[in-house]
Structure 1
Amino acid sequence: MGVSPPVLHRGLSSGQMGMLTIGSVIGTGLFLGSGLAVSMAGPTVLLAYLVAAVLAVALTYAAIEMAAANPDLNGFGAFAYRYLGPLAGFAQRWLYWGVVVISTGTQAVAVGIYVRYWWPQVPLWIPVALSAAAVVVTNLFSVRAFGTLEYWFSAIKVSAIVAFLVLGVVLVTVGLPNRPAVGLTAFTDAPSYLPQGITGLAVALVVASFSFGGTETLALAAAESRNPSLDLARTARWTILRLCVFYLLGMAIVVCVAHAVAAAPDGELTASPFVRVFDWAGLPIAAAAMNFVVLTAALSALNAIVYVSTRTLFSLAVDGQAPRWATRVNRRGVPVNAVAASAVGLPFAVTVALVSPDDAFAKMLGIVMFGAITTWVLIFATHASFRRRRTADEVRRSPLSLPGGWRTSASAAVAMAAVAVGMLFIDIFRTAWTVGAPSLLAILAAYAVVRMVRDRRGTTRPGGRRGGPRARRSAREPVERPSAPR
């Protein structure tokens, strides 16, 4: 008799799903990357974030529609395998792992930048290295209830954002004691709506897309939702709405205050623009408090990303799609080899911070975006194939359907691919192609090797034992982990 596949516990409420998703999305992209976007695009940064929001909505709807129709599958790699074939499924999972691994480096660089707000004389690579070492040690010696912890960390981040928005709206509209209202002159009397031209707007679009990354993972939480048929649609709508309000209103406040004090965010990213707003407004205590919040958020995200990337590699190895050594665990049940392999993004971040401290974050962000865009294109392509097989009645019964069906997905996939191609012509993001393109070719070559080995040995169950149809399905349609905070 075959061994039944593991079943995830359905314990997440719609409120927890929404908070965890918001907490995962609100991170370095908003708290730090937005400064680069504002410095490059000026007032038109709102247009970049609006376009990114539309793409994020389409991606989330597409992912949730597939998740609701395929409760037996967990993860975009499994969707890609069923609707696009085994090569797409294999590539999707490994690209996802690569994105998460490099994301650890991005978060570590952000931690270093936040620390340098207080101690600017400290070389960037030192806080990057210290935070990386601390997080790796934490993941080696303890495994916590990440869902509960990240819920509260997310609550802290959301509370800080709400406080920032309230104070920012007051500052823009009516002013503070001894500080007149800054008004909307940034939009009504701007010297240039495209200070860096079309290139600046393209950079802002890449950063905005990175900022919204992670919204699609709401679909992955369906496997642990108490009532996925009801929770998914309701939670998706409210989550996307809140994120759009947070991002668009937050960017509008930063632009208004920066214009009023003639102190636009610098492209070198020496601090979070959310911190700088309080500096510009003459509120140093509030600025220090906000910097502490964004530093805590980055450390929380870094810790969670290392955890997620480790378990992702472990699940790949269990399913026979990664080396067996990644399944080895220590006495505490921690997959130590997977931790070591998944931490490769951290020494890479230290190296980038040491060699190129002025644009370390932008380079790391570009590399992450190359992999993320590729995985998003695959999700849209998967959804297009999925919808072409669905009947009109099946679409009507779905709790959430993407308007326009496969045509919308195909258009969005083309748009995302165009963003990736555009990165070739942006100096700070060109490194992404230097690293990303060879990595993608390596994944395709690895699939050819894995396929050849399986053809010779026969398909095996996770753990190396030969099996029947259920074992083959388990290896081909594996469980994936939710992605990490951004």
Structure 2
Amino acid sequence: MGATTERSPSIGSQHLGDGLKQRHVVMLSIGGSIGAGLFVGSGHAIAEAGPAAVLAYVFGSLLVVTVMRMLGEMACAMPDSGSFSTYADKAIGSWAGFTIGWMYWWFWVLVVPLEATAAAHILNGWLPEVPVWQFSVLVTAALTAVNLASVKNYGEMEFWFSIIKVTAILLFIGCGVAAIAGFVPSVHLTPWQTITGHDGFAPRGMAPIVGALLTTMFTFLGTEVVTIAAAESENPAREIGRAITSVVWRISLFYIGSILVIICVVPWNNPDLTRLGAYQAVLQAFHVPYARLITDTLILVAVGSCLNSALYTASRMMYSLGRRSQAPAFVTHTTASGVPARAVLASSLVAFLACGANYLAPKYVFDALLSTTGAIALLVYLVIAVSQLRLRKRLLAAGPLKVRMWLHPFLGILVVLMIGGAFAVMVASEDHRREVIATLGCCAALAVAGYLRQRRFQA
């Protein structure tokens, strides 16, 4: 089973370019898993579960690392811009690839208005004379233009976004370790007292840790984008292999390292964790001047990066669906530089409509749309696990694997069982039941449409 990478574009062709360089893919693999959720959302997870929230990040990290290893095994053998949607197509059936592909596209299209609004509120705080909705439109339009120009433009912007995010996190962790070790005279910390002195390590028991785990899974979604982007690099299999093998230390350092610093510095019941965000609360505890400006700038960078990736990922998934005749054929046409411009514009148009719903329609309308993607992370991970388990024999028959899943098939089966358990917990929880039912309902409707389409083509 050879590589199916599309390249060598020409005017009016249906092939993607290969404009991503090694440094782009490396920074995409590092920065792709770092969103605004780390800077802000981590505070909500800690406030929900106490210092024990670090366990949610550890368990979530283990699950994501395992799933990425499974995805890497398939992606190195079959690099494709459709990534796990293409593999589901081959492993389970075209109805499965159709379903998860459109669900994933829908998720990233809805991410755009969320991130655009977050960016707009920050910019509005700096320039209050410009309305929030205008900033939202301008940010979305600017990043649409970036994605229309060339994949190199997208890669270059993500490269610098990632450089800023990674540098900031390393400085944050470094300063935290120095302060905890007592090397900062103006900061006096008692880490053990901070962790255990406010009703213990798990002040609300184990149940909130499961809720925090569900939050962290949503935060990690985006790590898999590197397997989509690497299909537009000069050597997809090599770049994917490098990215997958480094995912362990990346997630461990950035997420778990940051959470450990936060729970050692700020008590879990400090309202600043949710009011200001975890990073700003820590910076203020360190008496860092302009803490709000620094964190707002970091969040703006993270939001811009996520919005940029959302448009890129949605367009490539739509393009891949079109190549498999699961989306209108016109979205497969590319420009001279290998950009699926029609897929970019179609995804952006739906994103703009979602933006309109966010601002003009009653709040429950956009909330209802958003709930249809609430459990998408678990759904994507489940599809990846099942696909790898079913494709392993076919992959081995095609030749030696550059990346191999650990302890196959036992670890893969364990992942499937863990995800099934997480869905059961979500259904049992009043806080998450609505979103999982909405997500599975939307998925079921797409699955029926995909199955009927499959039957029609087989007839």
| Normalised TM-score (structure 1) | 0.78
CA–CA distance in 2 between the matches of 1:85 and 1:71?
A: 19
Contact 1:367 1:435 (C-alpha < 8 Å) held by counterparts: yes
**Taking structure 1 as reference, are residues 434 and 50 closer, same or farther at Cα in structure 2, changes over 3 Å only?**
same
Further displaced range: 236-245 or 317-326: 317-326
**Taking structure 1 as reference, are residues 200 and 110 closer, same or farther at Cα in structure 2, changes over 3 Å only?**
farther
The answer on 1:66 being equivalent to 2:102 is no
Contact 2:76 2:237 (C-alpha < 8 Å) held by counterparts: yes
Write the mapping of 1:115-134 to structure 2, written as runs, cut at 5 A: 127=132, 129-134=133-138
Further displaced range: 173-182 or 373-382: 173-182
The Cα of 1:239 is off from its aligned counterpart by: 3.6
Match of 1:273 among 269, 272, 278: 278
Match of 1:169 among 171, 174, 177: 177
The answer on 1:283 being equivalent to 2:288 is yes
The Cα of 1:311 is off from its aligned counterpart by: 4.4
Aligned to 2:10: none
Match of 1:152 among 160, 178, 184: 160
Aligned to 1:322: 327
Aligned to 1:461: none
Write the mapping of 1:32-181 to structure 2, written as runs, cut at 5 A: 32-71=40-79, 75-108=83-116, 110-111=118-119, 114=122, 127=132, 129-138=133-142, 141=145, 143-144=148-149, 145-174=153-182, 176-181=184-189
The Cα of 1:351 is off from its aligned counterpart by: 7.0
CA–CA distance in 2 between the matches of 1:407 and 1:140?
A: 43
Aligned to 1:466: none
The answer on 1:409 being equivalent to 2:412 is yes
Contact 1:103 1:368 (C-alpha < 8 Å) held by counterparts: no
Write the mapping of 1:48-447 to structure 2, written as runs, cut at 5 A: 48-71=56-79, 75-108=83-116, 110-111=118-119, 114=122, 127=132, 129-138=133-142, 141=145, 143-144=148-149, 145-174=153-182, 176-228=184-236, 230-259=238-267, 263-266=270-273, 269-317=274-322, 319-323=324-328, 334-335=341-342, 336-350=345-359, 355=363, 368-389=373-394, 397-447=400-450
- Letter of the 2:313 counterpart: V
- Letter of the 1:430 counterpart: R
CA–CA distance in 2 between the matches of 1:258 and 1:389?
A: 51
- Letter of the 1:403 counterpart: W
The Cα of 1:162 is off from its aligned counterpart by: 1.2
Contact 1:370 1:436 (C-alpha < 8 Å) held by counterparts: yes
- Letter of the 1:308 counterpart: T
Match of 1:26 among 20, 34, 39: 34
The Cα of 1:46 is off from its aligned counterpart by: 1.2
CA–CA distance in 2 between the matches of 1:160 and 1:239?
A: 19
- Letter of the 1:160 counterpart: A
Aligned to 1:26, what secondary structure does the other structure show?
coil
CA–CA distance in 1 between the matches of 2:390 and 2:204?
A: 39
CA–CA distance in 1 between the matches of 2:295 and 2:5?
A: 45
Aligned to 1:464: none
CA–CA distance in 2 between the matches of 1:290 and 1:102?
A: 24
The Cα of 1:166 is off from its aligned counterpart by: 1.4
Contact 1:135 1:306 (C-alpha < 8 Å) held by counterparts: no
- Letter of the 1:279 counterpart: Q
**Taking structure 1 as reference, are residues 201 and 37 closer, same or farther at Cα in structure 2, changes over 3 Å only?**
same
Further displaced range: 57-66 or 189-198: 189-198
Contact 2:143 2:307 (C-alpha < 8 Å) held by counterparts: no
Aligned to 2:32, what secondary structure does the other structure show?
helix
The Cα of 1:45 is off from its aligned counterpart by: 1.1
**Taking structure 1 as reference, are residues 236 and 250 closer, same or farther at Cα in structure 2, changes over 3 Å only?**
same
**Taking structure 1 as reference, are residues 206 and 364 closer, same or farther at Cα in structure 2, changes over 3 Å only?**
farther
CA–CA distance in 1 between the matches of 2:415 and 2:236?
A: 26
The Cα of 1:455 is off from its aligned counterpart by: 5.8
Aligned to 1:47, what secondary structure does the other structure show?
helix
Contact 2:57 2:216 (C-alpha < 8 Å) held by counterparts: yes
CA–CA distance in 1 between the matches of 2:424 and 2:258?
A: 29
CA–CA distance in 2 between the matches of 1:189 and 1:73?
A: 50
Aligned to 1:187, what secondary structure does the other structure show?
helix
Q: Deviations over 1:366-409 (max 9, x none)?
A: 75441221121011000111225565995xx4222111112211
Aligned length: 439
The Cα of 1:76 is off from its aligned counterpart by: 1.4
CA–CA distance in 1 between the matches of 2:374 and 2:384?
A: 15
Q: Deviations over 1:93-144 (max 9, x none)?
A: 112112212322442454366568889x99xxx74x4443223333555534
**Taking structure 1 as reference, are residues 422 and 347 closer, same or farther at Cα in structure 2, changes over 3 Å only?**
farther
The Cα of 1:431 is off from its aligned counterpart by: 3.2
**Taking structure 1 as reference, are residues 348 and 247 closer, same or farther at Cα in structure 2, changes over 3 Å only?**
farther
- Letter of the 2:140 counterpart: V
Structure 1, gaps ≥5 residues long: 457-486
Identical positions, percent: 24
Further displaced range: 428-437 or 37-46: 428-437
Aligned to 1:483: none
CA–CA distance in 2 between the matches of 1:451 and 1:304?
A: 30
**Taking structure 1 as reference, are residues 154 and 216 closer, same or farther at Cα in structure 2, changes over 3 Å only?**
same
| Normalised TM-score (structure 2) | 0.82
Q: Deviations over 1:422-453 (max 9, x none)?
A: 22233443331243122112212321443465
**Taking structure 1 as reference, are residues 408 and 275 closer, same or farther at Cα in structure 2, changes over 3 Å only?**
same
Q: Deviations over 1:160-205 (max 9, x none)?
A: 1111111222222215343223433233544232233333111210
- Letter of the 2:297 counterpart: F
CA–CA distance in 1 between the matches of 2:390 and 2:458?
A: 27
CA–CA distance in 2 between the matches of 1:141 and 1:69?
A: 33
